[in-house]
Amino acid sequence: MLKTVFFILTFGVFSLLHAQSSDELQPVYSVTLIHQNLEFYKTQAKLWKKETQKNKKDGTAWFNLFNAARMANAFTPSGEDRPYDMNEIAENIKTNLPNTFEFHYLSFWQNNPSEEGYRHLQKAYELSPDRHDTYHAMITKAEYERDLESIKKFSELWYKHPFYSPGITNWNYNVLASVEQNAIIITQGDNDTYPLWLLQQVKNIRTDVGVINAHIILVEDYRNLLFKELGIAPFEEKAESFKSHREFQEAVLDHIIQSSKRPIYIGLSIPQYLREKWEDNLYLTGLTFKYSEEEFDNKAVLRNNFENRFLKDYLKVDLYDDFSKTVVHFMNQQYIPCLTVLHKHYKMSGEDRKKQEVEEILLKIAKESNREEEINNYLSSN
């Protein structure tokens, strides 16, 4: 009986970022929109800093410098000093661009999460309501408060924005297609959480499914509100009673799994160290694992999901120029576990046409994520 899949360990879910740095001045976006490497962010930080020195009132230059520096700090290897002083950049923005969108938005990031930070976020939105930069943070604030009206408002604004990625949307549609009625999905980051909410809020797709982000569920007041809505018993222990953040997070997730009366699914984006406690009870169903204490034929469920429920055309043909294509290629690697299982299944059952379909998707994903050698080695040996 197949549960988790060796490809998650052999290939890994994600590969290293491989976008190339450039000596030309370029807009800098969050890694949730476009994947770049550390050298790109360092180069752009230097270039945009020069622009701020030419004109200290250039809001675009300061905005891009802040983004580049923040991303460079985030991608600097653990143990190394962060190359940029974000407080210094923020102070310069405060001095040169007071009461502007850039000042309030970047002040939010410097004070996030806090009441002061959210006041800056609200002001930034009021100054420039058409800029998409504030939308995901406004959704987060509304989610903390379970302000459903605001969640819907900002979900609709974000969904309609040109930067919203159809590829990321399709990927998340297939996450929802991987689970049964009234399930709860435990997610990890931005691109496997917000798009699920947007699909539910804007398109009314799978509104029966509860979405729990493994990070924000650690906030006590929010956790109490959401657990009540989902019919999960309160988690009585306090964060300070645990030896580490990881131990606390694992305890909260274990409480969800053990206390919920609804089917529990864990997204493939949840890191191995958080899944390992329940590894023997996780069954691959597509882009999720189902937690089950009883064995079941998950291969049949996986096959049905892939053949009858998944959106697959976007995996076969590029029908549009996706702004976030680097992120989409990054995320699509998470199809590899289920595709390799299906490939073996179709080969053993003599279903050559379906086996060929899976091979073509695997090879396209491999080409887009620089993993052709690995996938070709797998296919040649299977």
Domains of the chain, CATH where assigned: 38-159 (1.25.40.10), 165-298 (no CATH), 312-381 (no CATH)
Cβ pair 235, 227 in contact under 8 A: yes
CA distance 275 to 291: 10
Specify the pLDDT at position 14. Answer: 38
Number of Cβ within 10 Å of residue 16's Cβ equals 10
First and final C-alpha spacing in the chain: 19
336-348 and 372-381 are packed helices; what angle lies between their axes, rounded to 10 degrees? 20
Q: Edge to edge, what strands does the sheet with 210-213 contain?
A: 210-213, 184-187, 264-267, 288-291, 282-284
CA distance 214 to 234: 16
Categorise residue 242: left if φ over 0, alpha if ψ from -120 to 50, beta otherwise. beta
The Cα-based distances of 49 to 12, 21, 56, 81, 90 in angstroms read: 37, 16, 10, 20, 13
User: Which among 331, 335, 340 is positioned nearest to 379, based on CA atoms?
Assistant: 340
pLDDT by residue for the chain (382 residues), tens digit each? 334 443 433 333 333 444 455 689 999 999 999 999 999 999 999 999 999 999 999 999 999 999 999 999 999 998 899 999 999 999 999 999 999 999 999 999 988 778 999 999 999 999 999 999 999 999 999 999 999 999 999 999 999 998 899 999 999 999 999 999 999 999 999 999 999 999 999 999 999 999 999 999 999 999 999 999 999 999 999 999 999 999 999 999 999 999 999 999 999 989 998 999 999 999 999 999 999 999 999 999 999 999 999 999 999 999 888 999 999 999 999 999 999 999 999 999 999 999 999 999 999 999 999 999 999 999 999 8
CA distance 116 to 175: 35
Specify the pLDDT at position 236. Answer: 94
Specify the pLDDT at position 22. Answer: 63
CA distance 281 to 275: 10
Specify the pLDDT at position 125. Answer: 97
Amino acid at 39: E
Cβ pair 61, 55 in contact under 8 A: yes
CA distance 200 to 152: 9
Specify the pLDDT at position 163. Answer: 87
Specify the pLDDT at position 176. Answer: 98
Per-residue pLDDT tens over the stretch 155-188: 999 999 988 999 999 999 999 999 999 999 999 9
DSSP 15: P
- Listing DSSP states for 164-213 in one string gives S-HHHHHHHHHHHTTS-TT-EEEE-SSTTTHHHHHHHHHH--STT-EEEE
Burial of 170 (0-12, 13-18, 19+ CB in 10 A): buried
Residue 99 phi/psi, 5-degree rounding, is 60, 35
